Structure 1
Amino acid sequence: MPTGVALHDARRQLFDAAARVLLRDGPSELTSRSVTTEAGVAKGVLHRHFTDFDGFLTELVLDRITQIEAQAADLRDATGSVADNLTNALVKGFEPVMVSIIVLVIARDELRRRLRAAGTAHLPLVGEYTAMIADYLRSERAAGRIAADADVETLAPTLIGAAHLKFTEKSDTAPEAVHKVVTSLLSGNAAGTRDVDH
């Protein structure tokens, strides 16, 4: 490697470099060259660890899905109100890098094909995030913090879709704007206003 950069965890360094490129330049500028340049390594390093660029992107998305699984555990253990817990989860879930990766997944047919072959949701990342929100809502319904007849299977994708639109339209969407969407959508499913809103 001409730069002399030691690669203790090449995959993680390349994933982190991709995140920086996405954050700074957007998904249209993410290439194998931009990733290796950002990581400060020779271009061949990426191809030593991944079959090709779509293979790299597949592993990048799968890494993000692993992070969603970890976030799901945190969400189940959250002690705030239902609205606050959902707001925090949605703000974290639609941070700018995640939105850019979702754009990549939508734009690249081969990437979607490989992800589906790996067993992801039909729309990778969005599907896993929706499942996480649905699981959380089911637990809150069982605990009596949202209505016993709340239609979780409709509410979860509605929350995801509304939040995604907010962050797609404006990357610096304030948590307060997401909270407003959440409380509005929860209002018809509240078992008790105190538990949902406060």
Structure 2
Amino acid sequence: MPTGVALRDVRQQLFDAAERVLLRDGANGLTSRAVTAEAGVAKGVLHRHFEDFDAFLAELVRDRIARLEGQADALRGSAGTGDVAGNLTGALIDLFDSVAVAIVGLVIFRDELRARLRQARPAPGVPVLTDAAAVIAAYLNEEGELGRIAADADVDALALSLIGAGHMLFAGREGVPPEPEDVGKVVNAVIADVVQRRLL
């Protein structure tokens, strides 16, 4: 590896490689050797930048969570426009891309990784999924303030329902996502009551 390469560049190179390995070989195939080989760097590079492999994986998950911020901004920006079910359907499709689904599986698969993530931010639930639920809840709060869903809607419960259903729809599909219409049916079923009560 050339000298003078910025740490951020090396980290991103390793993260990108880890995502490719995870998609191709699954959580069992994700090892430090597989990541460095995929990245085309010396074996010691990962351990020069991270305490150990679980520390690397924890940063990989945090990097994925940080990407949710852009999605959250876009979704909140859509409040008051289009149709609530359509906005939520698009959000779930964006949130549950193949890498996100694989990373959720990784977090569930590795106990040590979950423990590290919870040390930094103790919270119940599965990291990434709980963060995605917060994105959906923030959007639903905006729609509630705009009067597009019932004012008494339990947005946290709705968000958990949508994320849980979304994960079930997208997980285990070998990279072939569900049809948008199928996602939309689930979204409509979850939010039907709060939309109908808003109209009464």
Q: Flag structure 1 segments of 5+ consecutive residues without an equivalent.
A: 194-198
Q: 2:145 aligns with which of 133, 142, 145?
A: 142
Q: Does 1:116 align with 2:130?
A: no
Change (3 A) 1:137 1:48: same
- The SS at the match of 2:171 is helix
Q: Does 1:187 align with 2:180?
A: no
Supply the distance in 2 between the matched residues of 1:179 and 1:118 (Cα, whole angstroms): 35
Decide whether the 8 Å contact of 1:146 with 1:189 is kept in 2.
yes
| 1:179 shift after superposition | 1.1
Counterpart residue type for residue 44 of structure 2: G
Aligned length: 191
| 1:80 shift after superposition | 2.8
Aligned pairs for 1:82-101 (under 5 A) are 82-101=84-103
**Equivalent residue, structure 1, for 2:167:** 164
Decide whether the 8 Å contact of 2:76 with 2:139 is kept in 1.
yes
Deviations 1:141-191 (Å, cap 9, x if unpaired)? 111111112121211101111110011142421222111110121111102
| 1:120 shift after superposition | 5.7
Deviates more, 1:172-181 or 1:124-133: 172-181
| 1:6 shift after superposition | 8.5
Supply the distance in 2 between the matched residues of 1:87 and 1:121 (Cα, whole angstroms): 26
Alpha-carbon RMSD: 1.9
Deviations 1:104-155 (Å, cap 9, x if unpaired)? 1112111111111111643211111111111111110111111112121211
- TM-score, structure 1 as length reference: 0.90
| 1:62 shift after superposition | 0.6
**Equivalent residue, structure 1, for 2:76:** 76
- After TM superposition, where is structure 1 displaced by more than 3 Å over at least 4 residues in a row? 4-8
**Equivalent residue, structure 2, for 1:196:** none
Aligned pairs for 1:46-57 (under 5 A) are 46-57=46-57
Decide whether the 8 Å contact of 1:105 with 1:124 is kept in 2.
yes
Change (3 A) 1:40 1:120: farther
Q: Flag structure 2 segments of 5+ consecutive residues without an equivalent.
A: none
Question: Between the two proteins, what is the percent identity of the paired residues?
Answer: 56
Q: Does 1:132 align with 2:117?
A: no
- TM-score, structure 2 as length reference: 0.89
